[in-house]
Amino acid sequence: MSNTQGNPCLACSTGQHCCIRLSGLLLSANEFITLFKYHQEKLSIKQSNKVTIVSSKEGNACPHWGPSGCRIYQQRPIDCRVFPYITARIIEKRSTVKIVFHSRSDCPLKDQLFLHMPEADIKNLLIEFGKNVCGSTKTIVVSHERGFISRFRNRVEAAISRRLYRMSS
Ligand code: SF4
Ligand code: SF4
């Protein structure tokens, strides 16, 4: 069985630019160690509080990208699983972590992908990500940012072609 089976992004009319121009992928420490540490010479790596943010050097593709798509599709990080939803902010205050996400409007298959990804599943994945990053005892509150703020963020993201992220504590 191909490890890219069931990947709707293989039909992406942008040629899967999310993977081909990897920029600002958010990872837990465990995701970085298990999936990206051994490719670090190809990556620009930043640490923002407890989140590791990786981009490919010189606008290259993700090191897991291959001719048939993502080579680790079944094991890909949570930030890849939720796309074209984007984590906009992670705010940690004492025992609570608030994660705000929104949807990218420039994904050509977004309607199809959203059908495969009920919002409840996305929230569960982001709760898992929040616990992986900040600790299993934290209370994770996930909210979907919509309306003007989401549309404004989409315009900014499309303009600079990367994900925006802020974490505060
Ligand atoms: S999430 Fe959308 S834009 Fe990104 S690779 Fe998939 S179909 Fe293409
Ligand atoms: S891990 Fe896979 S899905 Fe995620 S950016 Fe890399 S190639 Fe794309």
Closest ligand to C-alpha of residue 106 is: 1
> Is the CB of 86 inside a 6 Å radius of any atom of ligand 1?
no
Pocket lined around ligand 2, Cβ cut-off 6 Å: 19, 22, 25, 62, 64-65, 70, 72, 76, 80
What φ, ψ does residue 93 adopt, rounded to 5°? -135, 110
Mean pLDDT over 94-118 rounds to: 86
Model pLDDT, residue 165: 46
Interval 93-101 mean pLDDT:
93
Q: What is the pLDDT of residue 1?
A: 36
* Distance (Å) of CA 144 to CA 47, 59, 158: 24, 29, 19
- pTM of the model as a whole: 0.85
Higher pLDDT, 133 or 161: 133
Specify the higher pLDDT residue, 40 or 110. Answer: 40
Ligand 2, pocket-test mutation among 76, 85, 104, most atoms within 8 A of CB: 76
Phi, psi of 99, deg, nearest 5: -115, 125
Whether pLDDT at 94 is above 50? yes
